[in-house]
Structure 1
Amino acid sequence: MKVLTLPVGQLQTNCYLIEDSGEVGIIDPGDDGDFIMRQIADLGAKPVWIALTHGHFDHVLAVTELSLAYNIPVFSHPKDNFLLKDAKRSAEYFLGVEADPVAVETESLFEGTELAVGKVKFEVKVAPGHTPGGVCLYNEESKSLFCGDLMFKGGGVGRTDFRYCSAEDLKKSVKEMLKLPEETVVYPGHEETTTVGELRK
């Protein structure tokens, strides 16, 4: 399994390309669709799905472009569908730029849902708090956790000051993810990777 980290958009959101056995899974294509597609072309692999850790605009603005270009499904938790519908307005409000709407139907992710890319399988772990439908993707074999904006290197966590957030749920979600093996590599939605062991300190 190969992981390519692509910081995209004004907020430098980490879009992840997961490549294995000639296939690519795309996690959180937040913007810069042309750039992401060039990186995929360089890999010489076939995109098979897009997965969203949550519905905030900075994680989803290239979804429609990539989904239509590759004719692949988009997976997200249904509790974040309202954020996808609001992504265009939110991007224009917070960034002051015009944005395209997220105009694709999504397939649902729930606790235990599996997504495969090549020979690698990811298990969905629901992780609400930052948003109602936040999820993490975990691969047990490589001990890799893609956690979106749940937690960050240095011990930071996702903001919970929007009306739909829950600080209590976020605390529970972080606690649950920190039960994973300490050598688990944590791939956050922004900034650098860390490990569960480092985050426990």
Structure 2
Amino acid sequence: MKVIQCNATTNDANSYLINDSILIDTGLNGERLAREIESHIDLNQLELIILTHCHYDHTAAVPLLVELSGAKVGVHRADGAMLADDMGSVSTFFGQKAPAIEPDILYEDGDMIKLDEIEALQIIHTPGHTPGGICLYEPFSKSLFSGDTVFASGGFGRTDFEGGSARQLTESIEKLAEIDVETLYPGHGPVIKSDANRQIQLSMRASRTIW
């Protein structure tokens, strides 16, 4: 699996280009992200944008990227209606209106996104930060794209926005702790390139203190 990190700005949400055709999350600045992607591929090669959850800092650039590339958009079913909702998307937190996003694909837990003859991304429903938060796991490379569920150094997503649940988040992290993860690609912060299970265990221990 080929992974290229394509952050539009230093403090933006992380965006990941997979096998030159799939983008996980878009961040805030569509014009900068488009230029970054174009330094690696032609935009018309982009086929699918997968959103780990509905929050504005991960989705704001979607409309422009779709316009430029024609890519389809996928999100978990539980977050689909929240994408265009000012409170559900927390766009009001950024002083903005929610982007006009109509997802083409509504994922469920366990869905598989084929990458090639060997590798595929498995959808893991991880509610808590949002009702429809997801992680994506590629078992051949033991890679986990964790959105805002877990971060490096024991970090984990907030639960004080609309639809958040501390109990559900802890349960979601406990689910992730059972998976064999070598590389962690979080929604914010640094990528963990080895022994990512240890980072997830730290997040699990820390999350158990919040409820």
TM-score normalised by the chain length of structure 2: 0.83
Amino acid at match of 2:103: E
C-alpha separation between the residues in 1 aligned to 2:104 and 2:165? 24
Higher strand share: 1
Matched, 1:191 2:189: yes
Please give the residue correspondences for 1:34-183 in structure 2 after superposition, counting only pairs within 5 Å.
34-44=31-41, 46-87=45-86, 90-91=90-91, 93-96=92-95, 98=96, 101-119=99-117, 120-181=119-180, 183=181
Q: Distance in 1 between matches of 2:33 and 2:158?
A: 27
Where relative contact order (Cα < 8 A, 6+ residues apart) is larger, the structure is 1
Residue 90 to residue 28, structure 1, CA distance change in 2 (3 Å): same
Q: Does structure 1 conserve the Cα–Cα contact (< 8 Å) formed by 2:6 and 2:37?
A: no
Instruction: Tell me whether 1:16 sits opposite 2:24 in the alignment.
Output: no
Give me the whole-angstrom Cα distance separating, in 1, the residues matched to 2:32 and 2:13.
13
The Cα offsets for residues 167-192 of structure 1, whole Å up to 9 and x where unpaired, read as 111101001111111x5211111001
| DSSP 3-state at the match of 1:108 | strand
Name stretches of at least 5 consecutive residues in structure 2 with no aligned partner.
203-211
How many residue pairs match? The answer is 195
Any conservation in 2 of the 1:77–1:135 contact (CA below 8 Å)?
A: yes
1:40 partner amino acid: I
Q: Deviations over 1:86-107 (max 9, x none)?
A: 259843x3233x5672233331
Maintained 8 Å contact 2:111/2:123: yes
Q: Which residue identity lines up with residue 187 of structure 1 in the other structure?
A: Y
Change (3 A) 1:140 1:125: same
Deviations 1:34-61 (A, max 9, x none): 2222232222362120000000010000
1:56-79 per-residue CA deviation (whole Å, 9 max, x = no partner) reads: 010000111112221121000121
For 1:162 and 1:90, locate their aligned partners in 2 and report how far apart those are by CA, in whole Å.
Answer: 7
Identity across matched positions, percent: 33
Closer/same/farther in 2, CA of residues 129 and 163 from structure 1, 3 Å limit: same
- TM-score when scaled to structure 1? 0.87
For the 8 Å contact 2:110–2:122, the answer to whether it is kept is yes
